[in-house]
Amino acid sequence: MKRIIILLTPLTIFTLFFVLPGKIVINKVSCVSSAGKCSSALEDSLSKYKDSSLIVALTQLPALIEASARVESYSIRFFLPNNLTIYVSELSPVVAVKAEGKSEYILITENGDKVDTVEATDLPVIITKQNITDDQILYAAQLLTTIHKIHGVNEGELYNGYFLAKLLGNVEFIYPTAGDIDVLLGSTELLLFQLNSLLEKSKIEEVSVNATRVVDLRYTDPVIRYR
């Protein structure tokens, strides 16, 4: 079997690594995320490098990608003749936090990382009513994420000391902002079952079916009142 040996002169090496990248114009920039679709903000930023030279793209893209709070890790690959693909591992937000009276939503992950600020969102929303700590926001986010999955609750209100969420239309649950979340969620399901059973059997005749039931779980024994 014949061996083919290609000898590259210093000029050839210089041309391949320093001259050609400056001559190649990027025709397409693609983004592939571990979460499926890359965030629109990241895709918009990357698209600006279409029609730029390869050397410019490879020089500037790392700083741009690393500036995104969503990106955990990434790699950049060049495909002949002139395409770039960026592979990223992105943090996925689970809830949006909006201060009362403000228009922007801050997107946060299940670990409390703030990854983006947007004008609109389809995520469950926590509306903060007072000065709230990051720990309280994280706790409320974990609560809302679960009751959103189970009951489709899309919004809750966070105060300094408690979190309020409305379930099944007219049942308001008041949760503490610290404690065992699994215990609270278990109590929620049990109390909802009991309330539904009472309504179905019409055992609360003195209370209108349309009355709002408030279940306060901040105490050792849940407090139920009507208004």
In a domain, 167, yes or no: yes
Q: Left (φ > 0), alpha (ψ -120 to 50) or beta: where does 179 sit?
A: left
Together in a domain, 103 and 213: yes
Q: Domain count of the chain?
A: 2
Q: Which of 61, 90, 119 is the last residue of a domain?
A: 90
d(C-alpha 121, C-alpha 18), whole Å? 44
Q: Which of 90, 108, 142 is the last residue of a domain?
A: 90
pLDDT at site 148: 93
Q: Is the pLDDT of residue 209 over 70?
A: no
pLDDT at site 22: 54
d(C-alpha 112, C-alpha 174), whole Å? 21
Together in a domain, 116 and 186: yes
Together in a domain, 203 and 133: yes
pLDDT at site 140: 94
Q: What is the dihedral of CA 84, 89, 94, 100, to 10 degrees?
A: -60
Q: Is the pLDDT of residue 43 over 60?
A: yes
Together in a domain, 127 and 212: yes
Of 170, 172, 174, the closest CA to residue 209 belongs to 170
In a domain, 6, yes or no: no
Strands 114-118 and 105-108: antiparallel
Together in a domain, 35 and 76: yes
Q: pTM value?
A: 0.71
CATH classification at residue 108: 3.40.50
Q: Which of 68-72, 96-100, 218-222 has the lowest average pLDDT?
A: 68-72
In a domain, 9, yes or no: no
Together in a domain, 121 and 36: no
Q: What is the DSSP string of 126-157?
A: EEE-S---HHHHHHHHHHHHHHHHHH---EEE
Q: Which of 56, 90, 124 is the last residue of a domain?
A: 90
Q: Is the pLDDT of residue 144 over 60?
A: yes
Parent domain of 36: 16-90
Together in a domain, 124 and 217: yes
Together in a domain, 78 and 103: no
For range 133-154, the mean pLDDT? 92
CATH classification at residue 55: 3.10.20
CA-CA distances (angstroms) from residue 154 to 38, 73, 94, 146, 168? 24, 31, 11, 11, 12
Q: Is the pLDDT of residue 8 over 50?
A: no
